[in-house]
Structure 1
């Protein structure tokens, strides 16, 4: 995998996001409320940096709660075209907070383009398959912008980062727990080094 800190000339016209959902009682490993201001600021700064240094002109979001919607919102606010990569139409129907559903709808309406990966799921297994299919679609982008706690070695974000490594996609990595940013090369996965990318 190419580390962006070393490969500053990498062109990534399309950048996809993958990242954690918000921390909850049932998902304590997500982005905590205390981490969220840093994550929001770095999403915006990172997109500006990617546009300036890597010619990024389109952001792809999987439209999940947490990082996906944070990144999509930053793209829309900055005027960077958004592609909504939606796993299935009923994605937000299980969300408890109506503000989250309204934000999903706002960002979907603001997207320049969208892909709906499959029909509404009929089981939890079907939903999981569609979510993984959505992640595979995101990995068709030229680069990945990941909000990933590198201590976490399971789940959809970890799976997407591992697949990106196999595909040799350049990755920008925000670690919300350590609050560091780096280009994600093979050694960075194991040992994060603070960076001044943005």
Structure 2
């Protein structure tokens, strides 16, 4: 049985390379491609693929995580396999929460990519070793986990936002921001904003 794929990546050269690579396998066929979320949904509706290969950075600013949510909300959604350069905890967890069946990195060997495509098409997970490691460390760590909101605060801290700007961006009070920061500092074992950002990047909680 031939598995039908749609490629979603905002770089045409990457899509072309992926298409050539994937179609070197007898049981895989690329039936469409897109550079942003809106085009992806249109192509998926038109072609009805078995698997969507999804990058996390897309051209329309929507992003691969939100695009994955929209794909999985379709009446008969295909499996989504994330293929990206990002292996931070926040990206991995958000992608899987959005409904992705697998998460591979772009340095994956071709045969492992093909195996991952076949796995998610069968309803089985496909995770890069480093991604599986992140999930294992998170599951086994005795340390308190970052909440999704705390990760969001860390990402905004990394962008250089002050407390007032954080409050505005999150639609909360400055007192709530200070509370989030206090919890973040405790969990990371730091006492400054810069220290929190550095620790979060080092621990791959957020992107550099």
**TM-score (normalizing by structure 2):** 0.29
Larger Rg: 2
**TM-score (normalizing by structure 1):** 0.30
